[in-house]
Amino acid sequence: MNTTPQYLSASTERSTQSGVAWAAIFAGAAGAAALSMILLLLGSGLGFAASSPWADQGASAKTLGVATVVWLLLTQILASGLGGYLAGRLRVKWASLHGDEVYFRDTAHGFLAWAIATLVTAALVGSLAGGVASSAAKAGGAVASSAMSVAGGAAAAGAGGAAAQGQGHYGYYVDKLLRGDSTASNDDAQAPAAAGRVFAQALTGDGQLDPQDRAYLAGLVAQRTQMSQSDAEQRVDQVYGQARQAVETAKTQAKQAADTAARLAAQLTLWTFVALLCGAFFASFAALFGGRQRDRVQWLDAAGTRQL
């Protein structure tokens, strides 16, 4: 005897239908991604307009950082809210479903729309940033190549033409190889270049000036300034100390700049995480709001008012 209730056939037919309205999800994701791109481009334009390479002009780094975080949060809230609302409002009507199930489906639709929009926006922004970075690297490489060519030509002219240019990084050792017992025959045009290579070798090493190099530099100074040997040695020690202090200051500033950049990158990453969480929440909430409005929509036909 068949004791199965007759109403299960309709229920079974409804249970085989998918609970995901992909058309509405992709529509919401497209709207969210488009609005995200528009707002991000607008924010970038405003940021470039407010910044300046001059220290006493434009907005400060702290102001730009706060404005970036606020704009990122605003972008996620507006774009994700729009995407979630479209996903909830454009879905099909789920008839004869419990309110909790409708609540879950609307929330899931908003979340899926936000997820797809986030992936699409990240891909587009990454591609755009990669293109800009590539163009900047090519431009920087061209400028650096030009600058090195000019510097190489100037060094070659000041250090004896093609012979000095061919020394490359071994110029210091070549100078040391060709040194004589006296500095009286040294060419005045070659002396500054030779002294510069001695300083560069000492500063890039352990920071200590070799005694032979010190005596050699003191001889050059005495030759050019008519100082006594002791006074020339004191000037060498004084000037080399200043050069070493300048190098240490530059190293310290570089480390501080790297530390600041690392902290800013960490803070921006954390705030991006917070903004994305806010976007997921607002997308789900807006989808729930849009779904409820969708269920209240009615349309009229010849027979009267009907629920859509």
Residue 186 has pLDDT above 80, yes or no: no
Q: What pLDDT was estimated at residue 145?
A: 53
**Residue type at 146?**
S
- Local confidence band at 115 (pLDDT 50, 70, 90 cut-offs): very high
What is this structure's pTM? 0.63
Residues whose CB is less than 8 angstroms from the CB of residue 280 and which lie 6 or more positions away in sequence, other chains included: 80, 111, 114, 115
Encode pLDDT of 190-212 as tens digits. 777 777 888 887 878 777 888 88
Task: Identify which has the larger pLDDT, 245 or 280.
Answer: 280
What's the rounded Cα separation, in Å, for the pair 30 and 245? 57
Distance between CA atoms of 205 and 112, rounded to whole angstroms? Answer: 58
DSSP state of 169: G
Q: Which residue has the higher pLDDT, 147 or 126?
A: 126
Half-sphere exposure of 174 (CA within 13 A, CB side): 15
Higher per-residue pLDDT: 80 or 131? 80
In the chain, where are the structural domains located?
20-155+271-307, 161-252
**pLDDT tens track for 295-307:** 887 766 656 555 4
In this predicted structure, what is the pLDDT of residue 273? 92
Predicted pLDDT of residue 71: 92
Q: What is the token pair recorded at 271?
A: 């705030």
Closest C-alpha to 291, from 65, 40, 161, 99:
99
List pLDDT tens digits, range 80-91: 999 999 999 998
With a pLDDT cut of 90, the percent of the chain lying above it is 25
Six token digits for residue 58: 């434009």
The total of other beta-carbon atoms located within 10 Å of residue 30's CB is 16
Which pLDDT does position 231 carry in this prediction?
Answer: 84
**What pLDDT was estimated at residue 297?**
73
Higher per-residue pLDDT: 1 or 123: 123
Using CA of residue 291, residue 293, residue 295, residue 298, what is the dihedral sign? negative
Confidence check: pLDDT of 162 > 60: no
Region 139-154 average pLDDT: 48
pLDDT higher for 136 or 99?
99
Average pLDDT over residues 203-223: 81
Beta strands in the chain (DSSP E): 298-301, 304-307
Mean pLDDT of the chain, nearest integer: 76
